[in-house]
Structure 1
Amino acid sequence: MHRVLITAAILVGLVAASSAAAAPASAEFSPAAIDAYLADAMDSTGLPGVSLVVTRGDSVVYATGAGRDSRGEAMTADSPIRIASLSKSITATAVMMLVDDGRLALDAPVVAQLPEFRMSDPRAERITVRHLLNQTSGLSDRTVDIGATDEARSLTDYVATLRTGTLGAEPGSRWAYCNVNYDIAARLVEVASGRSFGDFLRERVFGPLGMTASGTDADLSAPPGFNSLFGQWISRPDLLGFEGGGAGSVITTAADMGRWLISNTGNGPQLVTAQSLTTMHTPALHRYGMGWGTEEEGDLLVHSGNLFTYNAAQGIDPDTGYGFAVMTNSAGLADDTYPIMLGLAAMSRGETPETPGGTRGWTEVALAVTAMTALGLGVLGAIRARRWARARLGKSNWWTGARLLPALIPVLLFAGFPAVISIIMGGRTVTWAQLTYYAPLPIAVGIAGAAGLVTMVARLHQLRSVGSGE
């Protein structure tokens, strides 16, 4: 929902609208200019590998790659990439195709079309297909067992795990980003089409568009991506939960994304009616349509996607007819794909793009300084514990306990860190396993917690020693 994940989480961008008449292309927006901009972006961000595509009307302007993957191979327009939540726009299209076919009803209750969908909250019976795609169903990470959904092995199993869940709001009343919405939508596709979700995408979506290198992670694989650890990129397997769902399972390439963007601007092969395309691009609440939303400033239609070792962003400019997709095989405390995509959009309008500032590096430097400072304070606190204890002699137990609290705060923060980050992320579930993919943050907090614990233990020990006259 978000630009930069300074708190260890995952950034989700929003999008909406449909295509419009193409404006004249900027003379500065050429493959050579895009290459120069990408080189600057790679230099400023230090990303290990990037692939991107730019389209206009019914044509691919340019598709390319830079850097390398974890196997040491050059990134190109044909390198497989996990696009995470960009998958939602594809899932929404699959649902709307079945709506156009008369096999699904957008405003009918989900339970009427998917009888296996049950929750312990009676309000769930009022959730419609539209609510799922608009992220206004009332479903929330806080009210369903996300751990159980990750362990599911089929969409049928996935939906079954929701039976003990409740809703966080009345359906249709509030927007809340929740992956569960789109995984239920994928199961709806299976039931309405009589095909597995992956087969439906391959036969009805990817095939007609010529996206021959695309599929879900239940059928395809991508090389391990990278995590940033205090400025160094470390190759790691992605932290995968449920595979083959509708929320974030698609693996594709920049070349294939070009075909996807062309179709979404109303050009080339069309998978849905013009009315359905407009519906998907039109915001309902919180600038979010159906797998697309509107940029915070301007009319750009966008969506970002974040996994633990891959990030991606896509955009469509209705005013110019341009489409953009930027994908990287890495993830850190900042996602640079979205600002790179915005830079391409600016170039397409004849504007000078802002080179991404590489905030990840500065953020990790700040965290490293924080960790080292905390370590030093912990050592100092242990060394000076006896002096501190002597100064407490004769003071009330209440006052002494109050003076211990500052050392306890980082300990408590570390103990409840996933819960704290979950709150900061607006209720999205965050686990310790996930936080390890943003290691500089928990490392800094962990060192601060350890320093606080050492200081507190040393002070308590010295209080006892001084009090007994040792």
Structure 2
Amino acid sequence: MKRELIHLAAAALVPALVTALVTAPAARAASPATGLTPAAVDAYLGRAMESTGLPGMSAVVTHKDEIVYAGGYGRDSDGEPVTERTPMRVASVSKSFTAMAVMTLVDDGRISLDEPVAGRLPEFRMADPRAAGITVRHLLNQTSGLSDTTVDIGATQAATSLAGYVSALGTGTLAADPGTRWEYCNVNYDVAARLVEVVGGRGFGDYMRQRVFGPLGMTGSAVGDRVVRPSEGFNSLYGAWVARPEMPGFRDGGGGGVVTDAADMGRWLISQTGGGRRLVTPESLRTMHTPSAVARGYGMGWGEQDMGGTRLLVHSGNLFTYNAVQAIAPDTGYGFAVMTNGAPLYDDTYDVLTGLVAMSRGDTPDVPGGDRQMFELVLGAIALAATGLGVLGALRSRRWAGRRAGSPAWRIGLRLAPALLPVALFAAYPSLISFLTNGRTVTWEQLTYFAAPLTITFAVVAAAGVVTTVMRLVRLRSVGSAR
């Protein structure tokens, strides 16, 4: 979800800034699906890897009960080849796994989708009495009323356990009555993970291993990074990939804690299309895949979407150094997943997925790539231009001051306003990005990761404005004193 939101925000900010101044992949043995052979998938992914310039990528395609292809490209931060067994953080793709864990409890008769969450979790007490009406279904459909804008996200990220995470919601309120409005919020699925712990009688990671990962043979998957530990991911900085540790925060929950690999994702996708080992009843699987009346196409960890005439269930996942996306086509039985160990300002995983879906229809896929490079090239050009304008503004400040000496203060203020506008925008930068991403909480630290090129460019433009303004005021005072 972050991919669409942050890309939209960045695209909106760039015009404002302008105005202001591979290794060989490993294939899994499988029978080729019609029109989609392992060799064809490998060739497409190889071209996509080359054109996008990603540091590392793994992908899997399934059809009904078979893994058509699973492989990896590029290298990790330790210099090791990425394969179908390279651990990847999949962020919000985790939500579909958490929903599955909850549905196993529903099928076991241990919990009901329409019972209040507060009745099961004594620590789930909020400063809003409406929270008592939040049901399990509300959490999974993201219609609980929980919102980044009304809870203390910082306190939840400082938690060391799911129980502590849920307790940290105590001062929060709801943005809407439960069941009346859809709003994407990770808190829903972290509360759901705590519910799995309490009702399932064991830690969330243990429950996932025993009831979801284990039965499917997903031996390379876990919740959190203590059992299965991925290498450092990357951020793109004006086209150069920089290895960085994932941003600190709570990563043991149901909203984004799963670490997995392409081979395991193949087993997962097969189960989601009704094949392989069944974890829940067909009716429960349909419930997970069916959007609620108010959820704007969102089911339980899956979003409904049409892609070139193909009906898909999709969910993306984005952390600060990793990106992922998964999709299934219920009408054709295909499944797809793409994962990368790089998180740039523009996420290519969805574009790669689009090509795979096109191939499943028998169409020739467009090879993605160039958007990230072009986007960051534009930002770099803006930063260079702003630096030049700042130097020029400082050099011409004496001439500027000479022309405006003796002018009224209000007129001088108007003349200085254009140079100060980027400063004001930069001061409000996190709030501005939060507004453009529908109220999602955004911090300065977060903006130094995937958004680093935009952040640096914005800072350079603001600094140029400050230098120009200060030099003009100094020269103006000097000219005034001389007179």
So what's the TM-score if we normalise by structure 1? 0.94
Q: What's the offset of the Cα at 1:398?
A: 1.2
Amino acid in structure 2 at the alignment position of 1:463: L
Aligned to 2:383: 371
**Equivalent in 311, 321, 336 of residue 348 of structure 2:** 336
Partner of 1:91: 98
Aligned to 2:479: 466
In structure 2, the partner of 1:449 is: 462
* Structure 1 residues 216 and 427, CA gap change in structure 2 (3 angstroms): same
Alignment-derived partner of residue 64 in structure 1: 71
Q: Distance in 2 between matches of 1:212 and 1:163?
A: 37
Counterpart CA distance in 1 for 2:315 and 2:393 is 47
CA contact (8 A) 1:49 1:68 kept: yes
Identical aligned pairs, as a percentage?
A: 63
Give, in angstroms, the shift of residue 338 of structure 1: 1.1
Partner of 1:355: 367
Secondary structure at 1:34 match in 2: helix
Per-residue Cα deviation, 1:11-36 (whole angstroms, up to 9, x for no partner)? xxxxxxxxxxxxx9433x11111111
* Correspondence 1:213 to 2:220: yes
Q: Post-superposition shift, 1:230?
A: 0.8
Map of 1:222 onto structure 2: 230
Identify the match of residue 275 of structure 1 among 283, 286, 303. 283
Contact 1:120 1:165 in 2 (8 A): yes
Q: Which moved more, 1:287-296 or 1:176-185?
A: 287-296
2: distance between equivalents of 1:197 and 1:234?
33
Tell me the equivalent position of 2:26: none
Letter paired with 1:266: G
**1:305 and 2:312 matched:** no
User: Are 2:328 and 1:316 aligned?
Assistant: yes
The residue number in structure 2 matching 1:18 is none
CA distance in 2, matches of 1:403, 1:371: 22
| Gap regions ≥5 residues in structure 1 | 10-23
Q: Distance in 2 between matches of 1:203 and 1:349?
A: 36
User: Which residue of 36, 47, 57 maps to 1:50?
Assistant: 57
Structure 1 position 115, deviation (Å):
2.3
Q: Whose relative contact order is higher, 1 or 2, with alpha carbons under 8 Å and at least 6 apart?
A: 1
Runs (4+) of structure 1 exceeding 4 A deviation are none
SS at match of 1:115: coil
CA-CA distance at 1:105 after TM superposition? 1.4
Alpha-carbon distance in 2 for matches of 1:2, 1:310: 12
Describe the SS at the equivalent of 1:251.
strand
Q: TM-score when scaled to structure 2?
A: 0.92
Q: CA deviation at 1:7?
A: 6.0
Shift of 1:295: 1.9
Moved more, 214-223 or 81-90: 214-223
The letter for the 2-side match of 1:50 is: M
Contact 2:48 2:367 survives alignment (8 Å): yes
User: Structure 2 stretches of 5 or more lacking a match?
Assistant: 11-31
Deviations 1:116-155 (A, max 9, x none): 2011011111111111111111111111111111110000
Alignment RMSD (CA, Å): 1.4
Deviation at 1:468, TM superposition (A): 1.7
The whole-number CA distance in structure 1 between the counterparts of 2:446 and 2:105 is: 35
1:393 equivalenced with 2:410 (yes/no): no
**1:423-459 deviation digits (Å, cap 9, x = unpaired):** 1111111111111112111100000010011111111
Report the Cα distance in structure 2 between the residues aligned to 1:66 and 1:403, rounded to whole angstroms: 54
Question: What does residue 29 of structure 2 align with?
Answer: none
What does the per-residue CA deviation read over 1:151-201, in whole Å, with 9 as the maximum and x for residues that have no partner?
Answer: 100000000100001111121121111110000000000010111000000
Retained in 2: the 8 A contact 1:81–1:328?
yes
